[in-house]
């Protein structure tokens, strides 16, 4: 039997001749009439204010892909919010004790410990390129084992509080109660790279939603059915988009056959400075920000100094350069079932078996 998913993947991955993109669902240009529909969010009017960098929910545009159970919130982030999360993904999340794909056989310890800092200090163009394209993923919280496809209590780190806060906020707006973000995979995609067809079935809790945050260049995302024989839908995922997979869609095959140059760069949009004290900067007199006298979002674990710094164009410049040819994707999951505080240890699993 012809594997429809594989054929669609190969088609959109193709470099020459360039594929026809007219069948890709485009939420910005209403090219989705028969394949998706806009939905209203039934959140409570007294819902708490959003975390830093998010627009209020009343401004969100939310769509459901027909028959797939997938929801897409079309860029609910402010430009400053996008900058914050891009910075966190590049500067902080690849660092230890988080785990990344960089091999100790190929890179010295200082690169493994602080990839972003080494990338900025490097002056050799060839090495800069090698460093830039070598980081492909980092894991947070429960560290996914790529060989066994399982999580374990022995490979568990602290989950970033800010990422947990924003994930819980999205869950509450969408009606998912008691959501607990416990694991994340941060993917780094240079233009031209792909993610092959797979399902997300490693988590013991497959009822909780998976939140996928996209930043940077545009991706074509494929979502199919429970088998590779099902013809997938194709949809553009643009910077700031939040894709939510829950229920049936958690076990559906999905993939990214193409990362492509975007026409819009919302992460570089001008950022208003109302209510923020500024000091003169040689490169951008309006954008250099002094540290705050009070923590504006301390309860949600945000790095408020970083949130101020990303307005400074001199500080932002290396992140902007990296995003010129790359996409970043954060996948957040709840691992444990309700009422559980930990996974069985290896010894407990052996005794059970």
Beta bridge mates, 187:
137, 329
Helix or strand (DSSP H, E) at 208: none
Question: Can you give the residue ranges of every domain in the chain?
Answer: 4-101+136-268+317-337
Q: 175: which residues sit within 8 A by CB, 6+ positions away?
A: 42, 43
Secondary structure E strands in the chain: 36-39, 62-65, 70-73, 99-100, 137-141, 183-190, 195-198, 210-216, 218-223, 233-237, 242-245, 254-260, 278-279, 288-289, 326-333
Selection from 285, 291, 221, 295 nearest residue 253 by Cα: 221
- The CA distance from 234 to 244, in Å, is 15
Q: 54: which residues sit within 8 A by CB, 6+ positions away?
A: 76, 77, 78, 81, 166, 169
Specify the residue for token string 């627009």. Answer: 55
- The angle at the Cα of 83, spanning 309 to 115, to the nearest 5 degrees, equals 80
pLDDT at 251: 87
Question: In terms of CATH, what superfamily is 4-101+136-268+317-337?
Answer: Alpha-ketoglutarate-dependent dioxygenase AlkB-like (2.60.120.590)
Helix or strand (DSSP H, E) at 299: none
pLDDT at 6: 95
pLDDT at 14: 96
Low-confidence ranges of the chain (pLDDT < 50): 1, 274-295
Strands 183-190 and 326-333: antiparallel
Tell whether 198 is in a known binding site: yes
pLDDT at 347: 59
DSSP codes of every residue in 306-341: HHHHTT-HHHHHHHHHHHTTEEEEEEEE--SPTT--
- The CA distance from 186 to 163, in Å, is 11
């Amino acid at each position: 039997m012809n594997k429809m998913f594989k054929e669609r993947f190969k088609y959109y991955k193709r470099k020459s001749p360039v594929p026809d993109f007219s069948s890709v669902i485009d939420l910005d240009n209403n090219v989705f009439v028969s394949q998706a529909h806009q939905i209203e969010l039934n959140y409570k009017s007294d819902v708490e204010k959003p975390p830093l960098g998010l627009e209020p929910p009343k401004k969100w545009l939310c769509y459901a892909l027909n028959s797939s159970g997938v929801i897409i919130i079309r860029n609910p982030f402010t430009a400053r919010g996008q900058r914050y999360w891009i910075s966190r993904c590049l500067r902080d999340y690849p660092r230890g004790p988080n785990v990344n794909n960089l091999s100790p056989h190929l890179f010295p310890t200082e690169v493994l410990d602080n990839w972003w800092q080494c990338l900025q200090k490097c002056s050799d163009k060839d090495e800069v390129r090698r460093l830039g394209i070598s980081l492909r993923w980092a894991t947070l919280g429960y560290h996914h084992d790529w060989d066994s496809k399982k999580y374990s209590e022995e490979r568990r780190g602290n989950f970033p509080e800010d990422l947990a806060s924003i994930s819980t906020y999205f869950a509450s707006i969408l009606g998912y109660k008691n959501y607990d973000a416990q694991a994340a995979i941060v993917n780094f995609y240079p233009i031209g790279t792909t993610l092959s067809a797979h399902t997300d079935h490693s988590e013991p809790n497959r009822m909780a939603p998976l939140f996928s945050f996209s930043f940077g260049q545009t991706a074509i995302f494929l979502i199919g059915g429970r088998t590779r024989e099902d013809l997938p839908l194709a949809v553009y995922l643009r910077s700031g988009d939040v894709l939510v997979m829950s229920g049936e869609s958690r076990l559906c095959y999905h993939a990214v056959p193409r990362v492509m140059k975007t026409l819009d760069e919302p992460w570089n949009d001008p950022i208003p400075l109302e209510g923020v004290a500024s000091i003169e900067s040689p490169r951008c007199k309006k954008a250099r920000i002094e540290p705050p006298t009070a923590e504006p979002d301390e309860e949600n674990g945000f790095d408020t100094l970083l949130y101020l710094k990303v307005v400074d164009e001199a500080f932002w410049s290396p992140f902007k350069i990296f995003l010129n040819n790359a996409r970043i994707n954060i996948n957040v999951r709840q691992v444990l079932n309700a009422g559980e505080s930990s996974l069985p240890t290896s010894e407990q699993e052996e005794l059970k078996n």
